[in-house]
Structure 1
Amino acid sequence: MQTTNAKFLFYSAIILALCVASCAKQPKEENFIPTKNAFTTDAHYIDPANALLCEGFEICDENYILQYYNPERATYSKGKNGLRNFILSNYKNKNYTDSGYLNIRFIINCKGEAGCYVVHENDLNLAPKTFTKDLKDQLFALTTQLKKWNPNFVHDLDRDSYMYISYRIENGNITEILP
């Protein structure tokens, strides 16, 4: 009986310690000092040296760029329907036969400006592929014309964040725009 009580007390103490540790007040943001290159190994990282239209683009805080999945993620100033309407009304299918996903990743800075673009091309099974150059250039040009963005607002400040637009294309037609 004493062994059962001792085990119960031991496990209760461990659970209590874990609860206290997980509920402890997190350090304030200004106390956080990232190690050198702390964010350059994350999957969402965009290397400015390899990105398009990055020269002259100002990132407000290169050590604190929010990921895609933040609760207050950045949005296009005219909303998803405004973005969709702009792209679909300006895109011209010039008898393309391409199918797949053309993904354009970029950064939205704290001022709501976009820059540092990276293009990824995949077939409908998500294997790497190459789109017709003209199709890719056209969608890239249209995407970079989306100028006014609403930046993320986190911890009482407008923040830089990563963003992506994924175009699902079937036989040269845009069938879906994500997110």
Structure 2
Amino acid sequence: MIKAVYLFALFFCILISCQTEKNISKYPATVGDIEFDEKLDNPAFKKCNSEKLFTLQYYQGLKEFDYKGEKIAITEKLEKEKISSESKTNGYITVRFLVNCEGKTGLFRVRQMDADLKETIVNKELGERLLRFTQSLDGWIPKEIKGFKIGYYQYLTYKIENGKVSEVLP
């Protein structure tokens, strides 16, 4: 009888631990991690050895840009593209993405806000054009900590005034 109770208790503990593991795995490793979405993301894009290394967030003391030519190179390329809209909208379009340990980008997400920073669609077409522009940037430099290259999250916020990009933030 005691052996049966012991086996039941052991089985019950194993069952509970399996359920707990399933619940934990549905959450990202770090707040703000972007999860792969088969409808949006390129399946060929790979994160950096995610089991052993973490991905830095932009709020973890990173300098603003690790891009060949810094922010000015992005601004100059944007000016050459002449991306604008005929509608005279104002607001912000943010493109957030992951730079992997090879300097390749993926997992792009777009958010739009009006001039009062309330989430809305400022201009769908302009947002799509700025997303494609951001995806075309190929000068991202991988981060390195103690000799290991790691991935990091980056974002670019485009300030829109009268349908034109007036500034690239941060």
Give me the TM-score of the superposition, normalised by structure 1: 0.72
Shift in alpha-carbon separation, 1:162–1:38, aligned structure 2, 3 A:
farther
Task: Mark the runs of 5 or more structure 2 residues left unpaired by the alignment.
Answer: 1-23
Show the counterpart of 2:120. Answer: 129
Show the counterpart of 1:32. Answer: none
Letter aligned with residue 128 of structure 1: E
Deviating more after overlay: 114-123 vs 37-46: 37-46
Show the counterpart of 2:40. Answer: 52
Show the counterpart of 2:83. Answer: 92
Q: Percent identity?
A: 26
1:66 has 2:63 as partner: no
Task: Mark the runs of 5 or more structure 1 residues left unpaired by the alignment.
Answer: 1-35
Structure 1 residue 54, shift from structure 2 partner: 3.4
DSSP-derived class of the 1:176 partner: strand
DSSP-derived class of the 1:66 partner: coil
Letter aligned with residue 57 of structure 2: Q
Letter aligned with residue 132 of structure 1: N
DSSP-derived class of the 2:150 partner: strand
- Aligned counterparts, 1:134-173, within 5 A: 134-173=125-164
Structure 1 residue 107, shift from structure 2 partner: 0.2
Question: Using the alignment, how far apart are the partners of 1:110 and 1:58 within structure 2?
Answer: 9
Question: Using the alignment, how far apart are the partners of 1:137 and 1:80 within structure 2?
Answer: 21
Question: Using the alignment, how far apart are the partners of 2:38 and 2:110 within structure 1?
Answer: 11
Shift in alpha-carbon separation, 1:113–1:167, aligned structure 2, 3 A:
same
* 1:30-75 residue CA offsets vs partner (Å, 9 max, x unmatched): xxxxxx5497164421111277333210111335111103445561
DSSP-derived class of the 1:65 partner: coil
Is the contact between residue 107 and residue 115 of structure 1 (CA under 8 Å) also seen in structure 2? Answer: yes
Question: Using the alignment, how far apart are the partners of 1:37 and 1:139 within structure 2?
Answer: 33
How many corresponding residue pairs? 144
Structure 1 residue 103, shift from structure 2 partner: 0.4
Give me the TM-score of the superposition, normalised by structure 2: 0.75
